[in-house]
Each structure stands twice: as C-alpha cells, then as structure tokens.
Amino acid sequence: MIAWVKALHICFLLLWCASLIYLPLLLARHHPGLQADDYGRLRVMTRFTYVAVASPAAILAILTGTALIALREVAAPWLAAKLACVAGMVLFQVYCGYVLGRQGHESVPGRYTVGAVRVIVPVVLILATLWLVLGKPSLLPETREQLIPSWLPFKVDSAFTPQLPSGTRIQACRPSSRPPLPTAQSASIDRCRTGKRLQQHRVAV
C-alpha cells in the first residue's frame, strides 16, 4: 500500500515540478511583438498547462504526500521544512495564475509579462524539497555539543555551568543546632507536668 502511494506521489510531484518550471517560460513569451494568431495559440497553451496539468498534479501530489505522512507516521524537523518548501511552490503557482489572469484581461496583448529569470524560484524550491526528502538532515541539535561550534574558545561544560569569581568559597548549608522555639502546645504540656510534680511532692510531704 505504501509503495503504491509513494509511486503515485513521485509521478504527480514530477509532473507538478515540470509544470512549475514550464509556466514562467510560457508567461515570459507574452510580449506585444506577437501576432494575433500566435498570441492566441500561446494563450491556449499556457492556460491548458495551468488548468489541466499543473493544478491537478499539485492537488494529487499534496494528497498523496499527506497520505504518506499518515501511513508512515513521520514526525521530524526536516518534514516541517519540506512542508514550508511545498507551501512556497503552491504560492508560486498561485502567482502564475494571477499573472495568467492579468494577461487575459489586459487591453493590449503582451503588456503584462514575466521575466524568464523567475524560473529560478521554483527550481530552488524543488531542489530544497528533494534535498530534505532524500537527505533527511537533522536540523535541530541532538546533544549539547552540537549547540556550540567547535571554533569557540570555551567548552560545552563551561558554557552551561555558571562561572564564579576566583577565590570564591562555596559553603555547604548545615542544619542549625539551636533548639526549637517553644510553641503554645508545648508550653501547656510543660505546665501540666510541673503541676503534677508539685502535687506529688505535696502528697509525699
């Protein structure tokens, strides 16, 4: 079951990543120099890529990825970073849809264009996602030694132990040898004992 879900997830993810790289290139070709027929053909191709390829692939990739997380019960810091990269990919696709909508409602064809250099954004997000999934790096330190870099001049124990001034003596707290203070109950008991002793003394006399 997990193998089939993983295979489907990889297929949908590859299709989605290819669409995210191809969409900015298509949007960058919308310029005023195109003729009406070429511009209309390019519009149909871009809209088909966004609506019929990128959007279903994104939805299915997210659904199968969520199913994999639930089936394998994965909970790690790298997974949170991967979900952040996936959220960035979703936001980039929404941005492409916004640009596509603006190009469909503009009065002059090709006025609202997108630079092809923006293809770097999905490429970086895709590479980061692949690195997190394949490498599964430990993003949080597991021991105290990993919290402090090795090039610092002090050791880990000295960093976590409070430093006292030189010459300071630490004295251990000892229990006090003073007798406890009398309370009202103990004072009444002492009075009763003293009264009994006086009575015994009078009887003896």
Question: What local confidence, expressed as pLDDT, does residue 158 receive?
Answer: 47
Q: Please state, in angstroms and rounded to a whole number, the distance separating the CA atoms of residues 57 and 148.
A: 43
Say if residue 149 is exposed, middle or buried (CB neighbours under 10 Å; 0-12, 13-18, 19+).
Answer: exposed
At residue 89, what is the residue type?
A: M
CB atoms within 10 A of CB 168: 7
Longest Cα–Cα distance in the chain: 138
Question: What local confidence, expressed as pLDDT, does residue 160 receive?
Answer: 47
Question: What local confidence, expressed as pLDDT, does residue 159 receive?
Answer: 44
3-state helix/strand/coil string of 106-148 = CCCCCCCCCCHHHHHHHHHHHHHHHHHHHHCCCCCCCCHHHCC
Each residue's pLDDT tens digit, 106-162: 655 555 566 667 789 999 999 999 999 888 887 766 555 555 556 555 554 544 455
Which residues lie closer than 8 Å to 59 by C-beta, 6 or more apart?
none
Q: Please state, in angstroms and rounded to a whole number, the distance separating the CA atoms of residues 69 and 75.
A: 8
Question: What local confidence, expressed as pLDDT, does residue 181 receive?
Answer: 52
Each residue's pLDDT tens digit, 54-106: 999 999 999 999 999 988 888 888 889 999 999 999 999 999 998 888 877 66
Tokens representing 79 are 């997974």
At residue 113, what is the residue type?
A: T
Answering whether pTM is above 0.75, one says: no
Domain boundaries, the chain: 2-139
